[in-house]
Amino acid sequence: MNKEAMRRADFKTGIILIVLSVLVLVETSTFPMTDSYGGVQNVWYVSPALFPLIIGGVLLVLSVVLLANAIREGGHRGGAGTLSPRRLLSPSEHTVRFGTILLYLLAYVYLFVPYVDFALATFLFLFPFALSFYVDRPDILKKMALIILGLSVIMAVLLLSGVWPRAVESFEYAFEIPLAVLAIAVPVYARRLIGDDPLLARRFLITLIVAIASPLFLFLAFRYGLRVQMPHEGLVADAAEAIRYFFRTPGA
Amino acid sequence: MYVIDQFTSFGLSLYATLISPVNILVLVGATLLGIIFGALPGLTATLGVALLTTLTYGVPTETALIALLSMYVGAVYGGSYASILINIPGTAASAATALDGYPLALKGEAGKALGLTTTASFLGTMFGMVVLVLLSPLIIDLALQFTSFEFFLLAFFGILISGTLSSRDLVYKGWIAGFIGLFMSTVGRDRLQFFPRFTFDISELDAGLEVVPVLLGAFGIPQIIKVLVNRQPLARPKEFARILPEWGTIARNAKHIVRSASIGVGIGSVPGIGEDIAGWVSYGVARNTSKHPETFGTGEVAGVVSSETANNACIGGALIPLITLGIPGSPPAAMLLGALMLHNVTPGPMIEFEHPGFILELTAILLLASLAMWGLGITLAKQVVKVLKLPAQVFMPVIAVLCVIGSYSLGLNVFNLYLMIAVGIVAYFLTEMEYPISPLVIGVILGPMADENLRRALMVSEGSFAPLFQRPVCLLLLVVIVLTVMSQIPACKRAKERLTDRVLGRKPRNASMDVD
């Protein structure tokens, strides 16, 4: 970031921080000052508000200084253009890549991990994510991101409308089976997109191996090594459990 | 007598660690993992320690400590591989090493450079360890006199100094980061009255923000985003034949070793700034004091030795305030503190009462870890550098998965996951705007200490701030804090310049010299 862009950013963060510190101070003012939590009379210096008041105060001063400095160096000018329709329609490559990364991270953490079997969720995150950046071809990046975006929207709608929980209640794998099919379809589709470029084909293979091996390894290591219950255990976890049960020596 | 006593118990500590095959395995394994972690560009020592912490919830404290310290030592050293062989620092700590290490590799002396960094890192770690064990008891003696006021000021001092020294843009950006961290630490029920602060009736927030997810988010996510957003070409590591310890060259550079190690320990012991700054400062000093500064940057052995000795010496230095005062001296040390707290060990002046022999145990582990690091470096470097061929685009997404599972497995709480990713994204924007992240993390860790001690102090003094000015250490800290703040106010800066100009009899400097 060059200095001008930095001051423009400072101008915006200055305002955000001022708002935040005022909010901190407002919220703190609702804390008991001279009475304690239990309602007993108390003194100001034992109040739980004391420390947040100091922090909010200092933060307010510092953000005003930040804002003042930004204005003095011209940071308040020329910042409005950042949200013009033209820039929204044709974002820079940096923005596209950043947006894609954010999409994958958010979809993985907020949608996949809590509601889908850990190994399956991780594959659905890892494979398109790593492939997009390793193969590094804009069309693949875009198509993979669209798949994940579509999937996230569908999942979000199903979860918010209550269809997901109800369906899972009647049949545990109601959504995991379609997702497992998707997990097979995505690599097949990606392989067709890549065509017969030997370098990219090699990268595809490496990504595929890593995306299959690491979720499985992590799942087994955490589940059976460290005995950590996975956030959601479904298809793969049950399969692993079934296999373990099958091979378990009787009486052990 | 005291020295002999200490020596005997040190030997016993060493023996106790060595006797267990599991510990030895963990030691060697974690060191190797650390070297690999350090060598891979984009993976830092802090992230390594943070991710490893998530694996050590369930193991005994001693084993956890061995794993984490070995990881720390290995990762700080491992960064030099990438610096020398592909001219991309494996960790920020080794950034200065690349300046002379890579030119050496270009001359076909990569093996020599790696041998030098291996031995220099080993000597640096040992030096830091010796200072740690000699100085800690003295500081603890002093710190036992501290009251709540001192601890409150120390916490503030730590955040302020770390913010001041780690900011690359405006100094108060570091302070802002620190105060954001302090604010985050107030979320949850306060420890004296159990009043819920900023919890907004979300029950998951009652216990406060967990340190491990916050650290994984703050250090992991920005790193992942940065590496993937900016296209990093996969570099071809330079070839080398074999690695020798290079004792001869080291002996000839003895003065650089001693000076750099001292710089490293010194910088390490300052709260919140760590190996990267130690490496740069030491390199800068070596160049400025050299008789032939023009050779620096063209493959000067002294440059490589200086930065690598200092960054490893920094480890011992960073542990000094951590153990004696409970204030982490570097970002990985902050993570270490988080890990220790999970194991119910609270570092601070009381540590030797609560856990007798803790410092010596730590020292023994450091000694063994540096030995393991040296041995692995000399024998396995050729194999380890193969990891440099791994594409970052593939392993960074895997690191994201590790951050996720790591945050979750603490307390099996999906909420920590949401927290981790939210903190991570905010931290990414902050780093993009050149806010340093370590003051934020130090703030999160020291916040409860500052809060509790302030109120406890005022309770004892019945609301009076007078002790701040009556107690010598308080007064000293207060003066330093005020001076640090004043030095950033433009009016004071100008006044100071005028004053120094007058005192030194110089002509007034151009007003545009002001950096405001």
Tokens representing A205 are: 């293979």
* Residue in B433, B454, B463 closest to A51 by CB: B454
Of A74-83, B137-146, B267-276, where does mean pLDDT reach its minimum? A74-83
* Residue in B176, B183, B402 closest to A24 by CB: B183
Q: Which pLDDT does position A39 carry in this prediction?
A: 62
- Distance (Å, rounded) from C-alpha B438 to C-alpha B333? 11
CB B257 within 8 A of CB B120: yes
Give the mean pLDDT of B86-96: 88
Asked if A69 lies within 8 A of B170 by C-beta distance, the reply is yes
The answer to whether position B450 is within a domain reads yes
> Which helix (H) or strand (E) element contains residue B196?
strand B196-197
- Distance (Å, rounded) from C-alpha B352 to C-alpha B318? 18
* Residue in A6, A69, A122 closest to B434 by CB: A6
Q: Which pLDDT does position B410 carry in this prediction?
A: 76
The answer to whether position B43 is within a domain reads yes
In the block, tokens 């310890």 appear at B245
| Nearest chain A residue (CA) to B174 | A62
Asked if A66 lies within 8 A of B176 by C-beta distance, the reply is yes
Q: Compute the nearest-CA separation of B432 from chain A (Å).
A: 8
The answer to whether position B508 is within a domain reads no
Asked if A101 lies within 8 A of B229 by C-beta distance, the reply is yes
Q: Which pLDDT does position B513 carry in this prediction?
A: 40
CB B86 within 8 A of CB B237: yes
- Distance (Å, rounded) from C-alpha A128 to C-alpha B397? 10
Name chain A contacts of B205, Cβ cutoff 8 Å.
none
| Nearest chain B residue (CA) to A126 | B397
Give the mean pLDDT of A35-47: 72
Q: Compute the nearest-CA separation of B446 from chain A (Å).
A: 13
| Nearest chain B residue (CA) to A2 | B433
pLDDT above 50 for A205? yes
* Residue in A56, A62, A227 closest to B172 by CB: A62
The answer to whether position B63 is within a domain reads yes
* Residue in B190, B229, B398 closest to A48 by CB: B190
Asked if B418 lies within 8 A of A109 by C-beta distance, the reply is yes
* Residue in B183, B394, B420 closest to A55 by CB: B183
Q: Which pLDDT does position B56 carry in this prediction?
A: 86
Percent of chain B exceeding pLDDT 70 equals: 96
Asked if A226 lies within 8 A of B198 by C-beta distance, the reply is no
Higher pLDDT, B276 or B499: B276
Confidence of residue B464 (pLDDT cuts 50, 70, 90): confident
- Distance (Å, rounded) from C-alpha A38 to C-alpha A46? 13
User: Count of domains in chain B?
Assistant: 1
CB B194 within 8 A of CB A37: yes
Confidence of residue B131 (pLDDT cuts 50, 70, 90): very high
pLDDT, tens digit (0-9, with 9 covering 90-100), for B337-385: 989 988 888 898 888 888 888 888 889 899 999 999 999 999 988 888 8
Asked if A51 lies within 8 A of B450 by C-beta distance, the reply is yes
Q: How many beta carbons lie within 10 A of that of residue A71, not counting itself?
A: 15
Q: Which pLDDT does position A221 carry in this prediction?
A: 87
| Nearest chain A residue (CA) to B172 | A62
Q: Which pLDDT does position B487 carry in this prediction?
A: 82
Percent of chain A exceeding pLDDT 70 equals: 91
pLDDT above 60 for B22? yes
- Distance (Å, rounded) from C-alpha B36 to C-alpha B33? 5
Instruction: Using alpha carbons only, give the angle B230, B231, B233 rounded to the nearest 5 degrees.
Output: 140
pLDDT, tens digit (0-9, with 9 covering 90-100), for B149-196: 888 998 888 888 888 888 888 888 999 999 999 999 999 988 877 888
Q: Which pLDDT does position B515 carry in this prediction?
A: 38
Q: Which pLDDT does position B71 carry in this prediction?
A: 95
Asked if A69 lies within 8 A of B516 by C-beta distance, the reply is yes
Give the mean pLDDT of A112-138: 93
Residue extents of the structural domains in chain A: 3-86, 91-247
pLDDT, tens digit (0-9, with 9 covering 90-100), for B32-58: 999 999 998 888 899 999 999 988 888
pLDDT, tens digit (0-9, with 9 covering 90-100), for B262-305: 999 999 998 878 888 899 999 999 999 988 888 898 889 999 99
- Distance (Å, rounded) from C-alpha B247 to C-alpha B242? 15
Confidence of residue A250 (pLDDT cuts 50, 70, 90): low
Name chain B contacts of A130, Cβ cutoff 8 Å.
393-394, 397-398
Q: Which pLDDT does position B510 carry in this prediction?
A: 45
Domain that holds residue B121: 2-470
Residue A226 is classified by DSSP as S
